Amino acid sequence: MGLSISNALNIIFSEALNNDFKGKSVLMLGKLKIFHNKIDLCAFAYKLGVKLNYSEIKTVGGGLVDSYSFFKNLGFSEVHAMDISDYENADIIFDLNKQVPDELKNKFDYIVDGGTTEHVFDYRQALFNIATMLKVGGKVLHTIPGGGSSINHGYYTLSPSLLSDFYSSNGFQVEHLNISMKKNNFSWNHNRQINSITDILLTMPDYRIFNLRDSEILPEYRGTLICIAKKIKQQDEIINPIQRQWYGLANIELLREMWTTDLNLKQDNIRIGVFGLGLTAQKFFNVIKDCEGFTSNKIKAVYTYENPDSLTSFNGYPIIDAKNLSPNDIDILFVAVAKKSTDKEIFNKLKWIKNSGVKLIRFNDYFNVFSFY
């Protein structure tokens, strides 16, 4: 649980170059260690364009720089550390598995997770707490296990899509997200003469050239997931994201624009039926709820030919056997089926309703909008 020049300090120094920390507050999740002595840290900072006040930097055991002192030296007016106990002299004692109290909401300008959240059993609650404690305009920095030989370091080794999807779904802008792969002993990073942030990045192999499941790679390399996200707006409710990498919601804004038009959502009396009960149908409901002009009364029912679980409703709408589908009940039928063979079969069964004046729209018509990244 700490920061070094090879994982997060370069990003913090970059932030210091581009932002004035005066009057700002920072919260460390855990009392972080700075894995450098004051001589090396000041030298690294100077080469990256940041001048630290050497005489004011305090040290702790082994001559390492004290993290409270470090952040104060960067210009922060308030420096806090949160931990589950006061064992390492944290000034805010709190369990991130629990919901934060009101006095900690919208309180901090920066939150630094230097390897703490992977030790929190309820990772979802930890992320909710971070989003809640951060002020609008504030930033969170994570440096956490992201692959390689991190087995049993904490409860979790995280994927980039977790942070990307969570923050982008909850009013944040992700400014930086990558995995750095480093040899476990770190020595080859420190042996190089470091002159710039670019030099630091060049000491790390590009993780994309490795197969992260390769048994010969895992013992030698540790992956660090590095993310910085800025809170752009305050949301009334923190929500669980849908994983965009696998469920294909990369171009969601474009899709909302298309569905607003194609489903006539700006028309007050439009009547829409949805065919399907699976993941694709759920995806449809997740997207359409934020489309311009959408109100819940514009969807009349969900139709299906098969209902093995005998459900009576889906997303709050009644489920009706498609055999009882009537063109008098709806103006548009959206077929929310992704598998092409099934989609074709269903579409052929429903052609009759199109001939009856109902507009028939297929999820697969928008296949090219659903892209992986």
User: For the chain, which domains are there?
Assistant: 2-241 (3.40.50.150), 246-369 (3.40.50.20)
- pLDDT value for 321: 92
Q: Which residues face 28 on adjacent strands? A: 81, 112
| pLDDT tens digits for range 222-253 | 678 889 999 999 988 898 887 765 444 446 77
Q: Which residues face 66 on adjacent strands? A: 33
| pLDDT tens digits for range 71-106 | 999 999 999 999 999 988 899 999 999 999 999 999
More confident residue, 195 or 137: 137
**Stretch among 218-227, 284-293, 295-304 having the lowest mean pLDDT:** 218-227
Residue 342 clears pLDDT 50, i.e. is over it:
yes
**C-alpha distances out from residue 159 to 1, 122, 125, Å:** 19, 16, 17
Confidence grade of residue 213 (pLDDT, cut at 50, 70, 90): very low
| pLDDT tens digits for range 25-52 | 999 999 999 999 999 999 999 998 999 9
Residue 219 clears pLDDT 90, i.e. is over it:
no
Confidence grade of residue 165 (pLDDT, cut at 50, 70, 90): confident
Look at the pTM and tell me if it is higher than 0.85.
no
DSSP state of 235: -
Q: Give Cβ neighbours of residue 344 (< 8 Å, ≥ 6 apart).
A: none
